[in-house]
């Protein structure tokens, strides 16, 4: 079952259509990448999912139920533009946001204490938000996003402003929450983070979904039959008559195998020629390459 189902959703502003008949499902328990160039329609989609606005057409289901006034209590949203009140103290700020999500004061204090202790920042309770660095504020924003134990997390560029240590800390916590069954929508421009963290994605361009599916399946779909062979010695003179040589250095070649051949033909050639092989691997496209290619195919930025 899907935790979130976007069904033929349309959202327009005056004469501009920001989301144009978009449909996709977020599998329950997945880390789902919401991707697209600037202005593609991602923010408009997120605003509808979080009930800030509503669709002009279509519907959005959360865990099988159409979005309603209670839905925000089941969603945690961490926007790219952070929304902390800088004059408030950390503790009272987190308590206020937790109460807005439906927690009692006792529940809120218990959960806030748990997270402050987990991040080893209990001493921050009486600090004003404005006294914290950008990275420290990011931790507080993350706690505010997860404190009410939502079934769906929406994280928009969650690592902005974090140093490598705190980036690793938040990544670990995202993985822990996902392991507990929480579904996560992860919006980012960093394609290496998509490959590292996501198992499914949707790519939005010009308000339409132009690519959707499981990460490994998409990478296989876009592969170009490229292989890298690390070997000893020189290649025989007839090598180029059998295979397309894409790249070469002292002890490795990148080879494209024809559509009517497969990797076994390439491997068999090296074995028959008695060329010692140190490594043999298929080169799959990076998500950055797939992103650029698909955006260009669907009208550029």
pLDDT at 133: 86
pLDDT at 81: 77
pLDDT at 192: 86
pLDDT at 300: 63
Taking the mean position of all CA atoms in its chain, how far away is CA 249? 35
pLDDT at 22: 96
Domains of the chain by range and CATH? 2-214 (3.40.50.300), 224-283 (3.30.70)
pLDDT at 201: 95
Q: How far apart are CA 32 and CA 154, in angstroms?
A: 9
Q: How far apart are CA 285 and CA 288, in angstroms?
A: 8
CA dihedral 233, 237, 240, 243 (to 10 degrees): -60
Q: Concatenate the DSSP letters of all residues of 134-146 into one string.
A: HHHHHHHHHHHHH
Task: Quick: pLDDT tens for 179-198.
Answer: 999 999 999 888 888 888 99
pLDDT at 248: 87
Q: How far apart are CA 44 and CA 101, in angstroms?
A: 22
153: left (phi over 0), alpha (psi -120 to 50) or beta: beta
With 0-12 / 13-18 / 19 or more C-beta atoms within 10 angstroms meaning exposed / middle / buried, residue 155 is buried
CA angle 43, 154, 69 (to 5 degrees): 85
With 0-12 / 13-18 / 19 or more C-beta atoms within 10 angstroms meaning exposed / middle / buried, residue 55 is buried
| Helical residues (DSSP H) of the chain, grouped into ranges | 42-49, 90-100, 105-118, 134-146, 164-179, 191-197, 215-221, 239-242, 263-272, 287-297
pLDDT at 105: 94
Q: Is 205 helix (H, G, I), strand (E, B) or coil?
A: strand
Q: Are 191 and 222 in contact (CB under 8 A)?
A: no
* pTM: predicted TM-score of the whole model, two decimal places: 0.86
pLDDT at 214: 94
pLDDT in tens, the chain (301 residues): 899 999 999 999 988 999 999 999 999 999 999 998 888 899 999 999 999 999 999 999 999 999 999 999 999 999 887 778 889 999 999 999 999 999 999 999 999 999 999 999 999 999 999 999 888 888 999 999 999 999 999 999 898 878 898 899 999 999 999 999 999 999 988 888 888 899 999 999 999 999 999 999 998 888 888 999 999 888 888 888 888 999 888 788 899 988 777 889 899 998 898 889 999 999 888 888 898 888 888 876 5
Q: Go through 215-243 and write b for each residue having 16 or more CB atoms within 10 A of its CB, e for each that does not.
A: beebbeebeebbbebebeeebeeebeeeb
pLDDT at 301: 58
Q: 60 Cβ partners below 8 Å, 6+ apart?
A: 4, 5, 6, 7, 9, 48, 49, 66, 67
Average pLDDT, the chain: 91
Strands 2-13 and 16-27: antiparallel
Task: Quick: pLDDT tens for 159-175.
Answer: 887 889 889 999 999 99
Within 10 Å of residue 100's Cβ, how many Cβ atoms?
13
């Amino acid at each position: 079952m899907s935790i979130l189902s976007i069904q033929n959703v349309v959202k327009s502003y005056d004469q501009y259509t920001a989301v144009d008949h978009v449909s996709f499902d977020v599998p329950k328990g997945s880390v789902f990448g919401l991707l697209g160039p600037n202005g593609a329609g991602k923010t408009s989609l997120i605003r509808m999912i979080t009930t800030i606005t509503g669709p002009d057409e279509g519907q959005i289901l959360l865990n099988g139920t159409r979005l309603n006034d209670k839905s925000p209590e089941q969603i945690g949203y961490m926007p790219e533009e952070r929304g902390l009140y800088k004059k408030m103290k950390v503790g009272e700020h987190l308590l206020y946001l937790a109460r807005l999500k439906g927690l009692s004061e006792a529940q809120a204090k218990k959960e806030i204490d748990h997270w402050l202790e987990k991040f080893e920042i209990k001493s921050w309770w009486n600090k004003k938000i404005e006294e914290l660095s950008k990275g420290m504020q990011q931790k507080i924003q993350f706690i505010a996003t997860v404190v009410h134990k939502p079934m769906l997390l929406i994280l928009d560029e969650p690592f902005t402003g974090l140093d490598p240590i705190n980036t690793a800390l938040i990544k670990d916590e995202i993985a822990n929450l996902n392991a507990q069954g929480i579904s996560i929508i992860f919006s980012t421009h960093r394609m290496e983070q998509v490959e590292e963290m996501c198992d499914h994605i949707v790519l939005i361009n010009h308000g339409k979904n132009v690519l959707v599916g499981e990460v490994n399946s998409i990478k296989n779909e876009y592969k170009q039959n490229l292989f890298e062979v690390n070997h000893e010695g020189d290649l025989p003179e007839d090598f180029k008559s059998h295979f397309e040589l894409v790249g070469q250095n002292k002890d490795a070649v990148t080879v494209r195998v024809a559509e009517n051949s497969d990797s076994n033909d390439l491997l068999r050639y090296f074995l028959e020629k008695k060329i010692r092989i140190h490594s043999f691997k298929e080169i799959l496209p990076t998500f950055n390459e797939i992103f650029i290619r698909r955006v260009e195919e669907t009208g550029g930025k």
